[in-house]
Structures are given as structure tokens and as C-alpha cells.
A and B are shown apart, each in its own frame.
Chain A
Amino acid sequence: MTTLKTDLNLTDADGFYERLIEAHRGLDGPASRRLNAKLVLLLANHVGDAAVLDEALRIARGER
């Protein structure tokens, strides 16, 4: 079973972060939240593995 990666796995964390923030530029609150929601769905589909996604959900809810 795979587990959620929590060590650094992004190849260029600062570059990704910059592009992430840039993607939100000029969006109002609802538009920005919708962008985030789409991102989550896209990345969740890419991950696929239910156990990994459940672990991410737990951590994101602060249930560690």
C-alpha cells in the first residue's frame, strides 16, 4: 500500500508556489475558491489511491 508522501517531493517547491499564487492573481474570493476546488479534484484524480487521499483528508482536517 502506498502512503502519502510528506517529505519534499516537489522538484521546485518555490517555483510551484510562485505559479500557484500567480494563478490566483486578479480572482475574487469565490473564483479563487473554485480554482482551488478544481485543483484538488484534478490532483486527487491523478493520485487515485483511496488510502493516500484519505490520509491527506485526515491531515488537512487537522486530525493527526
Chain B
Amino acid sequence: MAGGLADRPRYAYAAPPELGQDSVRRAPIVIVGAGPVGLCAAAELAMLGHDTILLDEDDTVSVGSRAICWAKRTLEIFDRIGVGDRMVGKGVVWNRGRLFHRDREVYNFDLLPEPGHQRPAFINLQQYYVEEYLVDRVQELGRTDIRWRNRVVGLDVLPDGGARLTVETPDGNYRLDADYVLAADGVRSPIRRMMGLDFKGKVFEDRFLIADVIMKADFPSERWFWFEPPFHSGQSVLLHRQPDDVFRIDFQLDPSADPEEERKPENVVPRLQQMLGPDKPFDLEWVSVYTFTCRRMERFHHGPVFFVGDSAHVVSPFGARGGNGGIQDVDALCWRLAAVLNGTAPAALLDSYDAERIPAADENLLNSTRSTDFITPKNEASVAFREAALDLAADLPFARRVVNSGRLSLPHTYAATPLSTPDGDAWSGGPRPGAPAPDAPVQVAEGEPWLLRRLGGRFTLLRFVDDPAAAALGGVPDGVDVVTVARSGRPDGATVIDRDGTAFARWDAADGSAYLVRPDQHVAARWRTPEPGAIATALARALGRPAAAEARRAAGG
């Protein structure tokens, strides 16, 4: 079989030029860890025009059974860095989940019940493909010095606020200074340990057997979850289809299960035969036994070091919030770093990273903790309530919302971020300040006919008008692009046409409504009709300059 885990790429190590040098080079940004999160950061920063050095202790992509489900929001971020099509082209697209209890289907649900979005609710794609495609893209963008087999073994904060890294290579150690370090070094984060920082939370006792199975099977492209199926008594099972005829099957085991024994083929194969039937041919691609934890650091920003992805927070996989959440971390961080390095924002802008991503991590932790608790009930009462909810869920809609087999990853709304300007006008819908921009199909002169493709990478004023010949808007500050959504007329470079009104409806827009959208496609501010000066004030606030904004407002500007 072509592709797959067996054929994963190996990347060449090259001796770094700094080896054996007395002087220490200083880089603006060093990223530690080339997992999905670190790679995504390198690509985003490259798109924003910034060179980085990316260090990874290994020389290949992720090995074994790890992330498979990539959420719509992640795909939208992948689109912005130019890898969305490749990911979606290879991945298995799915929107539907199906839930079984014992031997019957209880209900099924559509995660993206409305049409008019370019991307599906989810694709399934092995983490090793995601990393390989990201490496290819980072190399293509040509702004990242990727250094394989470069392990960070020391970190010191310098008196000037930067960081000094000690890096170990097959040819010896060298030192490297950085203005900023992105610690994308995974759940065991050596950098977190070097800095003596805590990682607190909850450890679940139950063990899960995770098998990636290669077989020809006609399971549809859906997420199937069983509570107490006849083929795995008393426990739960989760099934996903991946590309290349690989299926991910999670079996819940007892806390007392012996991980070494359980992962032996002679024990795994009978479990699978009970599920699939005795005659179904299959091969095992990978088998592991996991216990899950939900933890996070108290803060993610420590001087020159930003923790992103699993180094900052880790969740159980029910809900697919680990990798997806980590990618949103770097999406929030990279435009801030770029703005500070470009001199368009004060360094204080970086402080709002914690203000946004800690609540986001908490939302992911809360959801995955609740799901794991539901899946692994601990006492008579929790078993009885789960049983009751499953009984009722077949007929009663409310009970379906009580059953919890995983609350699947959605982007966080930065409800309390200091960067947003609170609404001053009346709105009955649309993305509120802090929320991610919703997609909509639009007619365009050139490129992809989707609204989200027009947003991101820079601040954009998204203006809604009935008539495309409407007068240009005054008071748009430098550094803000304008994209106009018109109800009719002909599209051109900066104007898209909302033929069927989907964009107007999704954004709760009327003639003259305008949204200021951040480089990460989250809304910063919105107006029914922006007053002169309002856009500049909102922009200043979104760039972490509230004091300057106040002064300008007081001066009547």
C-alpha cells in the first residue's frame, strides 16, 4: 500500500551554522516542536512575512495513533496558509454522528445542518499526513529554517527580555537567542519543565485501546459511537473512517486493564473479530493503550516564551479538541507577534494572548472532561442517569442533548477579550465581537467563491451595502483593507456579491452595516453605520492601544 505510516517521510539533518561559534545568533522567533501546532505557527508567520527557526528533536512526522479529526475551523485556518485543499482532498469528509446503545441506534445528528459553507464540519486525516503536508507547505513558503534532530536542552531568560536556547544536535550543542520562543514541544514539554512551571488537572483512570485497522469495509463516513455494544460488554466503542482504508477504533477498557497485555495482537484481534465478525480480513496498522488527562498551565505567556498546543493544555480526545485547540492558539498568537515585530502594535498586545486562549482552553477542558465523565460513569447514580438518558433519547429530543459521547470541537468566541469593542448598536444575530467570522457563498470576480477566503491575514473592514455603487466609506485607517458585500451588481477585486442573501443573513447585516475583522478572522467590532473615527478607535483597541484610542476619542478624532 502506498502512503500511510509505513512510508512516512524522513527529513535530512544538516549541521547548523552556529555549531562551534563563539558569538550567539539572535533570531526574532524560534519555534520549538514541529508537531501540527508548531508547523502551523511557522506557516502562519511565513504568510505574515516573518522568518522563523523551527527546531525539532526528531526527523519525521508523528508516529502511531494520534489525531484524526480536524474541525471546520482548522480547515479554514489551513485554507489561509494554503494547505486546505490538499488536506480536504486527501481526508475523509464527514458531518454526521450516529449513536448506538446496546444493539440499537438511538439517534444521529448532523454537525453542519445548513448548506453554504465551503468546509465540512470535519475531515478525518491521520496526523502524519497533516504534519507532512504542513512541512511541505512550510518549505514551499521558504521563510522557515527547519532544523531536524535539534533538541532544545536549555532555556534561560536573558536580562533584555529575550531567551537563550541551548540546542543539542548529533554534532554537539550550540546556543541560539530569540526575541520570542513558541514552545510547541508537546504534552511533556521539556521547556515547561526547564522553566519549572506547573501543569495541573484531572487524570482519568480508565484505559482506552486505540487501534488503527486496515480493512475493506463499507462503514459510511460518519462518527459511530456505541454505549455498551453487544460486542464489547459494558464499555463504549468509537469508530471513525480514515483515508487509505484505515479505521480508527477506540475500545474503552477497565482501569485495571494491563496496557502491555492489551496491546498484544493476540488480545486485540479477538476484540476486533467480535466487533467485525470472525471472517473479516484486516491488518493492524498501530495499536496503543492510553489513559487520558485534562490539564493546563496556569498561564501560557511567560516573558519571551509562549506555550501553544499540548504543552499549554491537554484534553482527552472525545470532542477532538486537542490539535484543533492548539491550532487556534497559534492562530491567535501569530498575527499579534507579527504586529509587534512590524511595529504596528505595542508589546502589550501579546498580553491578550492569555486573556483569549486561557478561556478557550477552559472551554475545551470543560467539554472534554464532561464527555469523559459521561463515557466512564463512576458510581451507581451516574450509571443510572446515563442509562435513563439513553433510554429516553430514542424518542425525546431533550434527552439527546443530555447524552454526551463527545462535544465536538468548535471555535471559541473571545467573549471577554480586551481587544473587542462592545456593541453600541442593536443586533439580532451575526457574529458578536470576539466571535469567528461565519462563511457564506458569494460571487467573486476571481478566486474561490466564499466569503471567508476574502478575510484574514490582515485587518479587514467588511462592509455590507445594497447597491455596489454606494459611496466609498470614509474614516478607514491605514492598514485596514475594505471588502464590500453587495446584494447585487458585478463583483470586482474588493467587492463580492451576495446573490441569495446568505451572507447578509448570517452577519445580521443591513445596508451600511460594517464589521472590523481581525487577521485571525475573529470580529473586533461592528456598527450599523460606522461613525467617523469609530473604525480607527476600534482598530487601536484591537491592536492593544486602548490608551491611545481614548486620547483620540477625547480629542474628537
Contacts and interface: CB of A to CB of B under 8 A. Distances in A.
Contact of A14 (B379, B382, B396, B407): B407
Contacts of A27: 379, 381
A6 B381 contact: no
A21 B392 contact: no
A6 B398 contact: yes
Contact of A21 (B382, B391, B397, B401): B382
A17 B392 contact: no
Contact of B381 (A14, A18, A32, A62): A32
Nearest to A7: B397
A56 to B, nearest CB: 11
Residue among A17, A20, A35, A62 with the highest chain B CB neighbour number at 10 A: A17
B370 A18 contact: yes
B537 interface: no
Contact of B401 (A13, A35, A64): A13
B402 A64 contact: no
Nearest to B389: A17
Given A21-B385, A24-B382, A32-B380, A14 B395 contact: no
B228 to A, nearest CB: 18
B404 A25 contact: no
A10 B398 contact: yes
B373 A29 contact: no
Contacts of B402: 10, 13, 17
A36 B381 CA distance: 9
Interface string A20-64: 110011010100100110000000000000000000000100101
B324 interface: no
Interface residues of B, number: 20
Given A21-B385, A27-B381, A14 B370 contact: yes
B316 interface: no
Given A13-B401, A17-B385, A32 B396 contact: no
Contacts of B379: 24-25, 27, 32
Contacts, number: 50
Contact of B373 (A8, A21, A32): A21
Nearest to A9: B398
B420 interface: no
Contacts of A59: 392, 396
A39 to B, nearest CB: 11
Contact of B398 (A8, A14, A36): A8
Interface in B519-545: none
Nearest to A31: B381
A40 to B, nearest CB: 12
Contacts of A17: 370, 374, 385, 402, 404
A10 B404 CA distance: 15
Given A17-B404, A21-B385, A32-B380, A5 B370 contact: no
Given A14-B367, A18-B370, A6 B382 contact: no
Residue among B381, B385, B398 with the highest chain A CB neighbour number at 10 A: B381
Nearest to A27: B381
A24 B379 CA distance: 8
B382 A64 contact: no
B325 to A, nearest CB: 18
A13 B396 CA distance: 14
A62 B373 CA distance: 26
Given A14-B404, A18-B370, A7 B398 contact: yes
A36 B377 CA distance: 17
A57 B180 CA distance: 63
Contacts of B370: 14, 17-18
A24 to B, nearest CB: 4
Contacts of B392: 59
27 contacts: A5-B398, A6-B395, A6-B397, A6-B398, A8-B398, A9-B398, A10-B402, A13-B398, A13-B401, A13-B402, A14-B407, A17-B370, A17-B402, A17-B404, A18-B370, A21-B381, A21-B382, A21-B385, A24-B379, A29-B380, A32-B379, A32-B381, A35-B381, A36-B381, A59-B392, A59-B396, A62-B391
Given A6-B398, A10-B398, A62-B391, 18 more contacts: A6-B395, A6-B396, A7-B397, A7-B398, A8-B398, A8-B401, A10-B401, A10-B402, A14-B367, A14-B407, A17-B402, A17-B404, A18-B373, A21-B381, A27-B381, A29-B380, A32-B379, A35-B381
Interface of B: 367, 370, 373-374, 377, 379-382, 385, 391-392, 395-398, 401-402, 404, 407
Interface of A: 5-10, 13-14, 17-18, 20-21, 24-25, 27, 29, 32, 35-36, 59, 62, 64
Q: Which 5 A-B pairs have the closest CB atoms?
A: A24-B381, A6-B396, A32-B381, A8-B398, A13-B401
